[in-house]
Amino acid sequence: MSTAVSTDLLDRPGARITFDVRGSGPLLVLAGSPMGAGPFGPLASLFADDHTVVTFDPRGTGRSVVEDPDADSPVAVRAADLAALVEHLGGGPATVFGSSGGAVVALALAQERPDLVGTVVAHEPPLEELLPDADERRTATDEIVRTYREHGPAAAWGLFLASAGLPAVAPEEVPERTALPAAGDDATARQTADERHFFLHEMRETVRWAPDLDRLRHARIAVGIGDASAGQLCDLTSRALAAGLGRPPEAFPGGHVGFVEDASAFARRLWEVLSRA
């Protein structure tokens, strides 16, 4: 059964955020980065019977346009966007499920605005600053950006996937680059703009954000890791985060985007984790 979706806009300094709302009940926000709202649709529908489920395109991605395409997108700015969205929708406290860079943003929200957050499930946040080889990781990230500038997105995606320990796929199949499905020349232009924003203005900001573990230990945070992600970058960073918070990680089905691979199985596991948070 399909779930009705309403779409609205939220004006923010330097950007206009497009967000979608399904269902009614307690507020549940599904946050990605650079992933937009589209891939979260099946998971959102599974929670919409008893939650108000919000998905959105982060600034500079998909439908959420920015005034200055050359401006960086710091985690603090994206967390402020998320805080404003929660306040716009009633003020929370919201349950936030964040994936990848969206998990980093969710952690920043919990750190800076704990009044707006009930539980955060941080699924595979790429917090490279928590790793013992953080210096080497910074160098690798700079090389990905340089490759994008000099050789284009296909070469940059190849380096990105290798650095993350993810299997190589065709560039058009990289799930992180997906917002809402579209077709035609406009979609190609949007994809090009999204890739440029990610590689030049978002990726470094995300992986170099360092959490304040002392502050986050007081928050209700569950750290999720895909059971197919062993040895990958986000497996390592998630385990480092869980250890820093003094709590065991939670296993989720699938890999880095397990909620896309099997939304039903992922939703069942997310329900279990939230019920114990």
| Count of structural domains, the chain | 1
Q: What is the pLDDT of residue 184?
A: 53
SS (H, E, C) the chain: CCCCEEEEEEEECCEEEEEEEECCCCEEEEECCCCCCHHHHHHHHHHCCCCEEEEECCCCCCCCCECCCCCCCCHHHHHHHHHHHHHHCCCCCEEEEEECHHHHHHHHHHHHCHHHEEEEEEECCCCHHHCCCHHHHHHHHHHHHHHHHHHCHHHHHHHHHHHHCCCCCCHHHCHHHCCCCCCCHHHHHHHHHHHHHHHHHHHHHHHCCCCCHHHHCCCEEEEEEECCCCCCHHHHHHHHHHHHHCCCCEEECCCCCHHHHCHHHHHHHHHHHHHHC
Q: What is the pLDDT of residue 179?
A: 44
CATH number at residue 227: 3.40.50.1820
Tens of pLDDT, residues 106-159? 999 999 999 999 999 999 999 999 999 999 999 999 999 999 999 999 999 999
> Stretch 87-111: mean pLDDT, rounded?
96
Q: Over 70: is that where the pLDDT of 246 sits?
A: yes
pTM: 0.93
Q: Over 50: is that where the pLDDT of 180 sits?
A: no
pLDDT band for position 178 (50/70/90)? very low
pLDDT band for position 176 (50/70/90)? low
9 lies in which domain range?
5-276
Tens of pLDDT, residues 48-92? 999 999 999 999 999 999 999 999 999 999 999 999 999 999 987
